[in-house]
Amino acid sequence: MLPGLDGTGRLFAPLVPHLSPHLEPLVVSYPAQEALSYRELLPVVLNALPTSGQFIVLAESFSGPLGILAAAQHPQGLLGLVLVASFVRSPVPRALSLLAPLVRGWLLSASPLALQHRVLLGHSASDSLQAQLREAVAAVPSSILAARVRNVLTVNVMAELAVVKVPVLYLAASNDALVRPKSLRLIQSIAPQVQAVTIASPHLLLQTAPRKAATALSSFAAFVGAF
């Protein structure tokens, strides 16, 4: 399980209790003190993959390109890839992507928490879920978060997606304010076999709709022969 922008893996906590008992979650976290590119993070992911048995890679938001890069390596035992509210290329308009060099930690720090929560969690998130988000973000220096945003704005793994051989599931959030439907359309234009499931939720769908997400994951796991 590859985490979102915070990279801590803490935000998988709402989902894990709802996963099928046939699935054993392995949460990956990223170095919190190093500004690493997607290519530099790839060895972290590859080294975390199981060395025996079969598995599925789930990649949330920021980590979607990393999941694709890993799957493109055709690791032994990989049965499928799940992309959650993610992308193969910058999800924002090109004009905004060109501003990537200007993204710095102080800009993120200046963003009101209430706005962050509304964009990521929607209007009805519980206090405990909001607290989990605050704690996950606070665990990572704003300079590192800014570096990851710059990575998002400049990423392009279209070629790597084209060589992924395993089945791919895309979980889309119907009320996603960050990753719009065009990201899924681009993915399916490259890999038409990608299955898509839309869940009524804001961007952080694994956290705000964990039961529905777990149901979709179980169906996909059964489809690829995980159990």
Read out DSSP for 109-142? HHS-HHHHHHHHH-S---HHHHHHHHHHHHTS-H
The answer on pLDDT for 109 being more than 60 is no
How would residue 92 be classed by pLDDT, with cut points 50, 70 and 90? confident
The whole-model pTM stands at 0.93
The answer on pLDDT for 77 being more than 50 is yes
Q: What is the mean pLDDT of residues 193-211?
A: 97
- Specify the higher pLDDT residue, 70 or 99: 70
pLDDT of residue 172: 98
Q: Which of 63-72, 145-154, 159-168, 205-214 has the lowest mean pLDDT?
A: 145-154
pLDDT of residue 106: 46
**Over pLDDT 70: what percentage of the chain?**
91
The domain spans of the chain are 10-223
Average pLDDT in the chain = 92
Q: Sign of the C-alpha dihedral, residues 42, 45, 47, 49?
A: negative
Which residues make Cβ contacts (< 8 Å) with residue 38, sequence separation at least 6?
65, 66, 69, 151, 155, 157
CB-CB neighbours of 159 under 10 Å = 11
d(CA 149, CA 171): 21
Q: Sign of the C-alpha dihedral, residues 30, 38, 81, 92?
A: positive
pLDDT of residue 64: 98
Architecture of domain 10-223: 3-Layer(aba) Sandwich (3.40)
What is the DSSP secondary-structure string of the chain?
-B--TT-SSGGGTTTGGGS-TT---------SS----HHHHHHHHHHHS-SSS-EEEEEEGGGHHHHHHHHTT--TTEEEEEEES--SB-SS-HHHHTTGGG--HHHHHHS-HHHHHHHHH-S---HHHHHHHHHHHHTS-HHHHHHHHHHHHH-B-HHHHHT--S-EEEEEETT-SSS-HHHHHHHHHH-TT-EEEEESS-S-HHHHSHHHHHHHHHHHHHHTT--
In 3D space, the residue among 78, 83, 86 whose CA is nearest the CA of residue 224 turns out to be 78
How would residue 132 be classed by pLDDT, with cut points 50, 70 and 90? very high
pLDDT of residue 124: 83
Summarize pLDDT for 40-70 with one digit per residue, the tens: 999 999 999 999 999 999 999 999 999 999 9
Q: What is the mean pLDDT of residues 185-191?
A: 98
**Over pLDDT 90: what percentage of the chain?**
83
pLDDT of residue 117: 75
